[in-house]
Amino acid sequence: MGNLSHILARRNPVLCVLSQTHSVAEAVHILAERELGALLVINEAGRLTGIFSERDLLRRVIAAGRNPEHTSLAEVMTKNPITATPDENRENAMAKMRSVGCRHLPITVKGEVIDMLSMRDLLFVELQERQSEVVQLRAYISGSY
């Protein structure tokens, strides 16, 4: 099971960051435009304070009957999201995400967010590894190793 740095090295960072004073409507527009499921929320000092996801939109805005135009991200974001570092292994990152029931994981270095991975990103890498193992096992079984 590889480190997150291996996944990060194979792609461009996927970062979408807004201030906690932005409205939900602004965030939703950006999420839709960029085809993302979540964005990071920062305070005035530029520090990560939360994450706003499609799930937050449904549960804390729509279901609660709030007006997206007049609701700030600070009011409805998931505060203090769990994070990981590039040197953490994939299994640990997935366990963290399962423990709190989230699907997006900010990646930090020395407290600064450098990227965000989704559960899909982590599972896709695992699926690729399993497929490779299957190919190797089939070659072994057929005697073409």
Check residue 21 and give its pLDDT.
Answer: 96
Check residue 130 and give its pLDDT.
Answer: 66
Check residue 12 and give its pLDDT.
Answer: 81
> What does CATH list as the number for 4-119?
3.10.580.10
Check residue 134 and give its pLDDT.
Answer: 59
List the pLDDT tens digit at each of the 145 positions of the chain: 578 998 898 888 878 999 999 999 999 999 999 999 999 999 988 899 999 999 999 999 999 999 999 999 999 999 999 999 999 998 999 999 999 999 999 999 988 899 999 888 888 766 666 666 656 667 777 776 5
DSSP 3-state of 41: strand
The count of other CB atoms within 10 Å of the CB of residue 93 is 24
pTM check: above 0.75? yes
- Which residues contact residue 52 at a Cβ distance below 8 angstroms, ignoring those fewer than 6 apart? 18, 24, 27, 38, 39, 41, 73, 76, 77, 78
Check residue 128 and give its pLDDT.
Answer: 64
Domain ranges for the chain: 4-119
